[in-house]
Each structure stands twice: as C-alpha cells, then as structure tokens.
Amino acid sequence: MMLMLILSLSVLVAASVLLILSRDTLRLVVGLALLGGAANLTVFLAGRPGSGSGLGLGLTPILPPIIAAGAEMLPSAAANPLPQALALTAIVIGFALLCFALVLIANLARQDARQDADVLRASEPDATDPIKPPLLEP
C-alpha cells in the first residue's frame, strides 16, 4: 500500500514539474497547484504511524487522535494530529493562492492575448524606466 502511495505521489510531482516548466502561464499555475497538493499529501502521509492497514496482516488499525478520559498520552496506534492540521492549513492557503493566480492570469489575458511566459518576461520595463524597477538578469 505504501509503495503505491509513493509511486502515485511521484507521478503527481513529475506531472506538476512538467507543467511548471511549460511556457504557458495557465499550465504553470495548474502545475503549482498540483505541486502544492503533492506537498500536502506528503505532509499528511508523514502522520501515519505505520505502513500496515490492519487488513488481516496482524497489524493494528490506525486509531483517530482521541485521548481517552484519564489518559495523558495518545495511544501508540493513533494518527498524529499535527500533520493533519498542517495539511489542512496548507490546503486553505494553497486554494487562496490559486484563486489569486487565476484572477491574475485572467486579467493578464484580458490585457494581452499572449500567454507565453518568455514573451511576458521580455515585456518588462527598460532599465531607464523611473516608475518600475528593471528586470534583473542573473
């Protein structure tokens, strides 16, 4: 089971990197959203206490992170609640960033029909423009 999750996460990261390296701005935004989802899945899977699922293998099932009355610690088979909270927070922040990027792309498409990232990079102001700083070349 864990091997299948790792392979699917690897495919998700590879697809997102391929989209990010594309020159189309909408593909770049979708690739960033996929990469954020892959990072969230990685953090979420880090909270699992083991690789077994308890399906007849003699392994204990994963318990919800609930502390029993009178106990001071979580049971050893309980899922860690911290990665779950971090993943939930990252999902909300990633969704807000995705919405902002899509609105930015929509406004850019309304002003200029070119969606090539290299063309947009070449349209930066000159070094003599007093309003905007120039594009810094490495």
**Residue 118: inside a domain:** yes
Task: Give the pLDDT score at 49.
Answer: 52
Task: Give the pLDDT score at 117.
Answer: 74
Q: Does the predicted model carry a pTM greater than 0.85?
A: no
Q: Count Cβ atoms below 10 Å from residue 35 Cβ, excluding itself.
A: 18
**Residue 73: inside a domain:** no
Strand, helix or coil for residue 78: strand
**Residue 59: inside a domain:** no
Distances (CA, A) of 89 to 23, 30, 84, 95: 30, 19, 9, 10
**Residue 135: inside a domain:** no
Burial group, residue 10, by CB count within 10 angstroms (0-12, 13-18, 19+): exposed
Task: Give the pLDDT score at 133.
Answer: 66
The structural domain count of the chain equals: 1
What residue type is 41 in one-letter code?
A: L
pLDDT of the chain, 138 residues: tens digit per residue? 678 888 889 999 999 999 999 888 889 999 999 999 999 888 877 766 554 444 444 455 666 667 778 877 777 767 777 888 888 999 999 999 999 999 988 888 888 777 777 777 766 666 676 777 666 665
**Residue 108: inside a domain:** yes
**Residue 41: inside a domain:** yes
Task: Give the pLDDT score at 136.
Answer: 65
**Residue 109: inside a domain:** yes
Q: Residue 86's domain is classified under what CATH number? A: 1.10.287.3510
Task: Give me the domain span that covers residue 33.
Answer: 10-49+80-124
Q: For residue 46, give the nearest of 74, 88, 81, 17 by alpha carbon.
A: 81
CA gap 73, 113 in Å, rounded? 59
**Residue 72: inside a domain:** no
Helices (H) and strands (E) in the chain, counts: 4, 0
